[in-house]
Amino acid sequence: MKLPIYMDNHATTPLDPRVLDAMLPYLKDDFGNAASRNHVFGWKAEAGVEAARKHVAALIGADPKEIVFTSGATESDNLAIKGVIDFYRAKGDHIVTLKTEHKAVLDSCKRLERMRQERIDELKMLRLGELTGRDVTAEEVATLEIKHDLEKDEQLQRWISKVQTGARVTYLDVKKDGLVDLEQLKAAITDKTVLVSIMLANNEIGTVQPVAEIGAICRERGVLFHCDAVQGLGKVPFDVNAAKADLVSITAHKMYGPKGVGALYVRRKPRVRIAPIIDGGGHERGMRSGTLNVAAIVGFGKAAELARLEMADEAKRLEKLRTRLLNGLKSKLDMLVVNGSMETRLPGNLNVSFAYVEGEALMMAIKDVAVSSGSACTSASLEPSYVLRACGVDEDMAHSSIRFGLGRFNTEEEVDYVIDLMARSVGRLREMSPLYEMAKEGIDLKSIAWTAH
Amino acid sequence: MAYSEKVIEHYENPKNVGTLDKEDPNVGTGLVGAPACGDVMRLQLKISDEGVIQDAKFKTFGCGSAIASSSLVTEWVKGKTVDQAGTISNKEIAKELSLPPVKIHCSVLAEDAIKAAIEDFKKKKAARGR
Ligand SMILES: Cc1ncc(COP(=O)(O)O)c(C=O)c1O
């Protein structure tokens, strides 16, 4: 067994050697531009891209013509959300999504909200200018809008109804296990809703959403369904038709392919349209301009092929490893809590809070093992994981969480090593923890007036 | 994030981890921070009647920098008078451990812990005096 051990396969996965082998010719002799129509270099590159497109499509039960290559799932999420809002504006401007979505989805939505708000603020300035008969600055709006009761101003409300930028967004809560509440989803869809964006599987707690039910609701209500399928593909079955998905974000580097390449599935029947967010030479049927990253796309195709062929066996193996890990930890440690559901969960995911121990300190203790934590200390912000918080996990327990992401190349031996190391490290840190001592003495930690800082 | 050597040294070999008898009239206990914020420090000082710190113990729930900050101050305060210990500032702690900006709050907490422990001791002493 070799150290360090990589057990952070939700962050990224290692490149499968078979993927690398498939890519190499395109990094050497077959370097052509897939858009070069008039020579053999171009044709070879194009053939590589088109073969990859077939494999990516086959993984999700799509037609190759429905695959748009992108630079990764962040771009795919941006393109799906902003592209739909831009194209379907005449129909509506409302999005429904989950509080536990990836930042690529949430921050795309937030930007659209901000754009709409900025436009409204401009209109308020103009309207106040009319009402006061003088030039009103942005700083004055807050006070003047109350004075002039803009909320009831019909002229302004008429203008706002004509706003052509941005969107309105509903962020749905999730249940304790991370699952969407389908009744809440139905209730959130209005006649202005054009898009529902809900992920296949969560990147922190591995919750697998009931995408078929979500897709059916969306289809029935006539709204588009975008699914960020990044974490689930190659781990759990997913088919665009079973899920009635209209747009699907995919990335190669979470399924043993290279980084910096992904795709957006865009349904053709019934046809879904999106406005591009990158303008240029009109590649990818005008939806995503830019010279294709041929070698990476070829690797993506190989990774998708392997994922499709090996998923069933791999999922079983990962689930067995995961069970071994959880049982091992439970047998050696008390006071640990699994975050998320054990029923609808990615096979390789385990997210555990080790009470009274802080996640970053724990990661420092197990420095030969790469995992991640929902602790604030591991992020730039001081807030612990928003995903865990949305699932109702207390802040202190969110600070104590560790995410294990088992993948294709992890072994039983590695799992056993990690169990042992975790048990020792948690034990050592608990001996150092005032909270553990107090809990052992039977002191209710919630009864203490802590000094928040 | 990369940790400084001193943080790693204190984290791997923390000095003075433990518990003093909080009922002892010569022991001052400072408990600062909050579990919800991800760090809680408990610093205990055994202080002679002359006001000299004879022993110091800590327990900390928090990241490596928080553990290192508390370990460091237990070493610094030993042998100091209460007044001297009370002047230890978070800046000195942060500098000694080369804490990055996002970890400054760990050193602030350690300073607060010293002050809280001294405060507790003084309160006990005043109560005794009455
Ligand atoms: C659920 C989810 N969506 C989107 C992304 C972003 O993907 P990419 O790294 O390809 O931009 C990730 C990975 O970080 C993810 O886990």
- Parallel/antiparallel/unpaired status of strands A369-370 and A94-98: unpaired
Interval A415-438: pLDDT, tens = 999 999 999 999 999 999 999 999
- Active-site position among B56, B106, B110, B113: B106
Number of residues assigned to chain A = 453
CB of A269 within 8 A of CB of A66? Answer: no
Is the model's pLDDT at A295 over the cut of 60? yes
- Active-site position among A109, A218, A227, A377: A377
B63 is catalytic: no
Interval B98-123: pLDDT, tens = 999 989 999 999 999 999 999 999 99
Chain A from 341 to 400: CB within 8 A of any B CB: 356-358, 360-361, 364, 375-377, 380, 382, 384, 394-396, 399
Residue numbers in A near B32 (CB within 8 A)? 451, 453
Is the model's pLDDT at A407 over the cut of 70? yes
Contact B35 A399 (CB under 8 A): yes
What is the overall mean pLDDT for chain B? 94
CA B85 – ligand 1 centroid, Å: 49
- Active-site position among B12, B19, B24, B37: B37
Contacts of A410 (CB under 8 A, 6+ apart): A5, A6, A7, A9, A318, A321
Binding-site residues, ligand 1, Cβ < 6 A = A 72-74, 77, 102, 104, 199, 203, 228, 230-231, 251, 262
Supply the DSSP string of B56-79, one letter for each residue. EEEEEES-HHHHHHHHHHHHHHTT
**Averaged pLDDT for residues A260-283:** 96
CA atoms of A442 and A130, how far apart (whole Å)? 67
What confidence score (pLDDT) does residue A435 get?
Answer: 96
Tokens read off for A24: 């190499």
CA atoms of A56 and A212, how far apart (whole Å)? 20
Q: For chain A, say whether B102 makes contact (Cβ under 8 Å).
A: yes
CA atoms of A358 and B57, how far apart (whole Å)? 20
Task: From residue B101, give the alpha-carbon distance in Å to each of B33, B98, B107.
Answer: 18, 9, 10
What confidence score (pLDDT) does residue A382 get?
Answer: 64
What is the nearest CA distance from A440 to chain B, expressed in angstroms? 14
Is the model's pLDDT at A380 over the cut of 70? no
CA atoms of B72 and B15, how far apart (whole Å)? 7
Interval B19-41: pLDDT, tens = 999 899 999 999 999 999 899 99
Is the model's pLDDT at A34 over the cut of 90? yes
Q: How wide is the angle at C-alpha A220 spanned by C-alphas A244 and A92, nearest 5°? A: 95
What confidence score (pLDDT) does residue B3 get?
Answer: 86
Is the model's pLDDT at A337 over the cut of 60? yes
Contacts of A273 (CB under 8 A, 6+ apart): A87, A88
Q: By C-alpha distance, which of A422, A320, A413, A321 is closest to A369?
A: A422
- Tokens 């990859």 locate to A52
What confidence score (pLDDT) does residue B51 get?
Answer: 93
Mutate to test the interface with B, among A362, A389, A401, A451 (most CBs of B within 10 A): A451
A391 is catalytic: no
Chain B from 18 to 47: CB within 8 A of any A CB: 19, 31-42
CA atoms of A156 and A372, how far apart (whole Å)? 49
Q: State the first-to-last Cα distance of chain B, in angstroms, to the nearest integer.
A: 51
Is the model's pLDDT at A71 over the cut of 80? yes
